Amino acid sequence: MKIGYVQTLPEFGQKEQNFKEVNRLLSGVSADLVVLPELFATGYTITSKDEARALSEKKNGETALFLEKISVLTGAVIVGGFVEKDDDHIYNSAMMVYRGQLIGMYRKIHLFNKEKRWFSPGDRPPEVYTVNGWKIGMMICFDWIFPEISRALALKGAQIIAHPSNLVMPHCQKAMVTRCIENRVFAVTSNRIGEEKRGEDHFRFTGGSQVTSCDGEILCSAPERETHAGFVIIDQVLSENKMINAYNDVLLDRRPELY
Ligand code: ACM
């Protein structure tokens, strides 16, 4: 499987421009899985619930249409983040599309910082979707600090975790090595770059998107300050072997009765 990320520099609120930039970075690319950043179409630093609502879309909105289009152009499963509107709730969500069809959605369970003021926390367990025989789960950015999410996806059979992100702390890229080793899964962390200064907030995003193997090896990674599309060929089936030596299976050796 050829899997990778597109690391972008979104302009806040400029969806058309941000779509164009993803198109440019993906021009001529064909792949099996492409992961875009969290909130890649809108930018991150929302300042009010009204602003979140104004940026929000239904799951068949313009961001879905764009993702469907690039899934056809690249031949890939595409995962990307968006501001989701569903009844009275606004979620920080990701969707997975393939061949122009919506495959599945994930609503960020662990909201970061002031996201708690405008987004509702995800209300559904993370799921693994089987597409073309590949088993792919999603989590979003700050979910990395809660090992339960990647563990839950591994227990549900995920081979690869697609991880749209807008990282502002320096730890996630290293932590994903552990998340991948402890579950023996591959992960694609797609981050953004640049700064956003809006309202009281000033965020600097850390770039360094990466593909991490089920052995914890960083197979490809992006620079900290430049847009980049990076891809690597993996054998996703390796993630189905949970043994780290002749005696230890990282899932079966757990002792949940003791903790
Ligand atoms: C984050 O969850 N976007 C830091």
Q: With contact defined as beta carbons under 8 Å apart, do 177 and 216 qualify?
A: yes
Ligand 1 near 210 CB (within 6 A): no
Where the chain has pLDDT below 50, the residues are: none
With the most atoms of ligand 1 within 8 angstroms of its CB, the residue from 165, 191, 196, 206 to mutate is 165
Residue listed under structure tokens 């992100």: 165
Q: Is the CB of 129 under 6 A from ligand 1?
A: no
Position 197 scores a pLDDT of 98
The residue nearest atom 3 of ligand 1, judged by CA position, is: 166
Per-residue pLDDT, 18 = 98
Pocket lining: 166 vs ligand 1, CB cutoff 6 Å? yes
Least Cα distance to 68 among 80, 53, 50 occurs for 80
pLDDT at residue number 76: 98
Instruction: Compute the distance from residue 227 Cα to the ligand 1 centre, in Å.
Output: 19
- Contact (CB, 8 A) for 228 and 7: yes
- The pLDDT score that the predictor gives to residue 144 is 98
Phi, psi of 147 (to 5 degrees): -60, -15
Residue 84, phi then psi, degrees to nearest 5: -100, 135
**For residue 95, what is the enclosing H or E element?**
strand 89-98
| Confidence at residue 102, expressed as pLDDT on a 0 to 100 scale | 98
pTM of the prediction? 0.98
Name the residues annotated as catalytic.
38, 108, 141
Q: Report the C-alpha gap between 107 and 206 in whole angstroms.
A: 23
How much is the pLDDT for 36? Answer: 98
> Residue with structure tokens 């490809």?
220
How far is 148 from 142, CA to CA, in rounded Å?
Answer: 12
Q: Which residues contact 115 (CB under 8 A, 6 or more apart)?
A: 46, 92, 108
Rounded to the nearest 10 degrees, what angle do helices 15-25 and 62-74 cross at? 10
